[in-house]
Structure 1
Amino acid sequence: MSRRRVRAALVAAALLLAPVTAAPAAATPAPAALPAATGGQQCTPDRVAYSPESPPALRRLSAERAWAVATGRGVVVAVVDSGVDAGNEHLTPAVLPGVDLVGAGGDPAGRTDTAGHGTAVAGQIAARQVEGSGVVGLAPDATILPVRVYHADDDRAREQGVAPDAGRIAAGIDAAVAGGARVVNVSMSTPTDTPALREAVERATAAGALVVASAGNRATSSDEADGPRYPAAYDGALAVTAVDVDDNPSADAIHGSHVDVAAPGTNILTTYHAAGDCLLSGESVSTSYATAYVSAAAALLAERYPEESPAQWAHRLEVTAARDQPAERDDLVGWGVVRPAEALAFVDDGTALGPPSPVHRVDAAATAATRTVDVTPRVDPLAGARRAAVWWAIAGTTLVLLAALAARVAGRRRRG
């Protein structure tokens, strides 16, 4: 599979974080559009609109086959993000009272979302059916626990201390577990290994919750530095990268040995503020959105196999992911693009090629048969400067303006 630079986005809202002297930043979604079936009209937070089309990613993920086995019923998925707007009709019956760790005028239960990012992610996971709309989540009977950890990503938010913050993300993971989440979605990443984050992931894993986190997006189109992103790279977390509409890896995503699996990250038809539906990230590939679909797949597994551990759910997704060589992973897409239906059907007898089973002893021959292929060697001339900076990337808050979409959106550009 080849990496490729996608066409420039029509409108991009880059989400990068600042040096150590400033708080991490977040972004407000740029305007976007509904699919061509609705006339390609622009999405606005103050006007409710629905698309009769179903999310393209659900077809690619064979959602109907997975739903014959599980729909996420009884599983709580925490969205550690910008909050979730429970005023969206798709989400009103799906959202529990959660927690707001930011303040800044938000609902104490985390059910407001100024940025719109958390609402979009929640819709991908568990949007309910609404008359006149084809939008539904991959785990349509799962329950969302909103954990609001940032308000916005701009200079003012950083000055006020309401932008993304490592300590607040860690506290958000803890709050998610305390709220009963079996799956914790973290569509954010940082290149800095933070003890508080590491320990929060460890506590979540010990409590029986799977942390699903973004493997990271690039800061700019000229940024070619790869490397671990956190919390995705911690033991116990499942690191997710994004692929384009053809399931090819994206030049916009961070690659490296921390990448576990991939999922669709472009042409995301999902919930938009309290305003119904919107097509997001049409010209970019976003690991935020890929992460949400993997969290939803994990929720299906948690329903079907409630007695299994987070490591077993992660193994199901990894070992059944689509890849050319069953015994090999690479640094572009990890073990491949997730296949929820296959993960639900998988029987772990210890003989499958690929990642080692968490419950079966791996002998020397099996270990030798599984190898990692590094396909993206590169030298980063700015490595020293990058290591000196601390920044967060909300993995994929580019909500791109898609004007005049025909038949199906063909865009695929990055999110920051």
Structure 2
Amino acid sequence: MTRARLAAAVVAGLLGGAGLVATSAAPAAAASCDKDKTTYVNEEPQALQRLNARFAWTLATGRGVTVAVVDSGVEAKNAHLGPVLVGGRSFVPDLGARGDAVGHGTAIAGQIAARPVKGSGVIGLAPDARILPVRVFYADDEQSRSAGVGPRPDRIAAGIRYAADQGAKVINVSMSTPSDDSRLRDSVAYATKKGSLVVASAGNRNVSENKSDGPRYPAAYPQAVAVAAVDTADQVGEGSIHGPHVDVAAPGTRILTTFYAAGDCLLEEEAESTSFATAYVSAAAAMLAERFPGEGPAGWKHRLEATASRDQRDTRDDSAGWGLIQPYEALTALTDGSVSGPVAPGATRPPVVAAPATRLDLTPASDPRAPERTAATWWSLLGVSALVALALGGVLRPGRRRAAT
């Protein structure tokens, strides 16, 4: 098995020092994962098995749907991704969208829509979707941050708007900041009005300077889908930020996906990553956009939430939100309000009204044949009395005396 573990966090200062933007990290090349040497892993990603991908593919594969990856760029030279990319733009000066210095965006794109390649088992959850690469940062090292080419809210917001204008139905943002930024907020609202669903990372504790639980943006905006990460046991660990903003969860550990231009690599073997979990939710959303194009962003979000697996069907929690996504169930569920969980768009949950208390009436019901029954009872009693009298008369009758002899 080809393996690599994630490097240190991508943490960049925001414009004006308002907060921090964080991604997971750039995939670091381990000894068995060399970005300068193409290697394929002939094994299907474990996450696809856990998400019952093959059942979902009988209904949708993301065909005709464009997913924007607002990230570090996407490496077009990776054989899984070359045929997938459409258009693209870089908001980083002097760089194109179809390149990736840190491998983060390339890994995300592969999870969403990697095409099959001979000798490799890697494939995306929405293998017929298209990828629109939107490059909003170059790298995460100190030199890049000082040069202003790290992740920044203004560029992320511009990337979201661009993706919506290009017709992307799903916009993947595997980055987060604890600061509510008006540019990010407005960009998510703009994308929603254009018919795009923004899917974003709920935040990673291990790569953020602010390790406290609480909302992360743009995930926390109400129109977006905020994604937590689960481990191989489908449990949300402490590495994933918890909070009221979390909507759903998806696999974020042991992610087998595309690696730079070098084929495949296994990433995040230990700690779960919400960046990678976000990619799987974006892919599921693309499948929903194919099957239910008329439902729009709010409808797709509701399907993801309502059909997610959880212990209590009517409640969410701050770690996994409404639970682990179930693509097949989301593709087949009825949205008539019969599914327990979040309220469907445009609907209101009916109030629970207690049944009115009623006093138990112990008054006997009237019997219309009561007179007849009473008469019959008296005749029965008279008959019984007569029989008793006759019987007693026989017993008490004096015997005849015998004549004396």
- TM-score band, normalised by the shorter chain? 0.7 to 0.9
More helix by share: 2
Who is 1:145 aligned against? 132
- Per-residue CA deviations over 1:43-81 (Å, capped at 9, x if unaligned) read 111100100001000000000000000000000000000
Residue 14 in structure 1 maps to residue 9 in structure 2: yes
Stretches of 4+ aligned residues off by more than 6 angstroms: none
Q: For residue 224 of structure 1, report the CA deviation from its aligned partner.
A: 4.9
Q: State which of 164, 178, 182 in structure 1 corresponds to 2:165.
A: 178
Q: State which of 100, 103, 119 in structure 1 corresponds to 2:93.
A: 103
Give the 3 Å change call, closer, same or farther, for CA 78–319 of structure 1 in structure 2.
Answer: same
Q: For residue 171 of structure 1, report the CA deviation from its aligned partner.
A: 0.1
Partners of 2:246 and 2:46 in 1: CA distance: 24
Output the amino acid matched with 2:185.
R
- Per-residue CA deviations over 1:307-346 (Å, capped at 9, x if unaligned) read 1110110000100000001001000100000000000001
Output the amino acid matched with 2:158.
A
Partners of 1:353 and 1:87 in 2: CA distance: 45
Q: For residue 97 of structure 1, report the CA deviation from its aligned partner.
A: 1.7
Output the amino acid matched with 2:101.
T
- Per-residue CA deviations over 1:278-326 (Å, capped at 9, x if unaligned) read 0001112100000000000000000001111101100001000000010
Contact map agreement 2:309 2:323 (CA 8 A) in 1:
yes
Contact map agreement 1:98 1:179 (CA 8 A) in 2:
no
Q: State which of 75, 86, 91 in structure 1 corresponds to 2:76.
A: 86
Who is 2:149 aligned against? 162
Residue 200 in structure 1 maps to residue 167 in structure 2: no
SS in 1 for 2:217: coil
Output the amino acid matched with 2:189.
E
- Per-residue CA deviations over 1:185-234 (Å, capped at 9, x if unaligned) read 00000000000000000000011100000000014699751000000000
Give the 3 Å change call, closer, same or farther, for CA 210–251 of structure 1 in structure 2.
Answer: same
Give the 3 Å change call, closer, same or farther, for CA 131–298 of structure 1 in structure 2.
Answer: same
Give the 3 Å change call, closer, same or farther, for CA 48–291 of structure 1 in structure 2.
Answer: same
Contact map agreement 1:23 1:159 (CA 8 A) in 2:
no
Partners of 1:347 and 1:169 in 2: CA distance: 35
Contact map agreement 2:74 2:105 (CA 8 A) in 1:
yes
SS in 2 for 1:308: helix
Who is 1:135 aligned against? 122
Q: For residue 153 of structure 1, report the CA deviation from its aligned partner.
A: 0.7
Partners of 2:320 and 2:173 in 1: CA distance: 18
Residue 58 in structure 1 maps to residue 48 in structure 2: yes
Q: For residue 178 of structure 1, report the CA deviation from its aligned partner.
A: 1.2
SS in 2 for 1:330: coil
SS in 2 for 1:212: strand
SS in 2 for 1:70: coil
Contact map agreement 2:21 2:176 (CA 8 A) in 1:
no
Q: For residue 16 of structure 1, report the CA deviation from its aligned partner.
A: 2.6
Give the 3 Å change call, closer, same or farther, for CA 23–314 of structure 1 in structure 2.
Answer: closer
Partners of 1:233 and 1:55 in 2: CA distance: 29
Who is 1:30 aligned against? 28
Residue 124 in structure 1 maps to residue 111 in structure 2: yes
Partners of 1:163 and 1:223 in 2: CA distance: 18
Residue 321 in structure 1 maps to residue 311 in structure 2: no
Output the amino acid matched with 1:47.
K
Who is 1:386 aligned against? none
Partners of 1:146 and 1:304 in 2: CA distance: 23
Kindly tell me the number of residue pairs found equivalent between the two proteins.
Answer: 347
Give the 3 Å change call, closer, same or farther, for CA 90–64 of structure 1 in structure 2.
Answer: same
Give the 3 Å change call, closer, same or farther, for CA 297–25 of structure 1 in structure 2.
Answer: closer
Query: Aligned residues: percent identity?
Result: 58
The answer for unaligned runs of 5 or more in structure 1 is 1-8, 33-40, 367-416
Give the 3 Å change call, closer, same or farther, for CA 223–202 of structure 1 in structure 2.
Answer: closer
Output the amino acid matched with 2:265.
C
Q: What is the Cα-based RMSD across aligned positions, in Å?
A: 1.9
Q: For residue 17 of structure 1, report the CA deviation from its aligned partner.
A: 3.4
Partners of 1:186 and 1:11 in 2: CA distance: 18
Residue 225 in structure 1 maps to residue 215 in structure 2: no
Partners of 1:365 and 1:116 in 2: CA distance: 51
Output the amino acid matched with 1:180.
G
Give the 3 Å change call, closer, same or farther, for CA 10–309 of structure 1 in structure 2.
Answer: closer
- Report the TM-score when normalising by structure 2: 0.82
Output the amino acid matched with 1:301.
L
- Per-residue CA deviations over 1:342-361 (Å, capped at 9, x if unaligned) read 00001111122110111333
Give the 3 Å change call, closer, same or farther, for CA 298–125 of structure 1 in structure 2.
Answer: same
Give the 3 Å change call, closer, same or farther, for CA 340–98 of structure 1 in structure 2.
Answer: same
Partners of 2:53 and 2:5 in 1: CA distance: 30
The answer for unaligned runs of 5 or more in structure 2 is 354-405
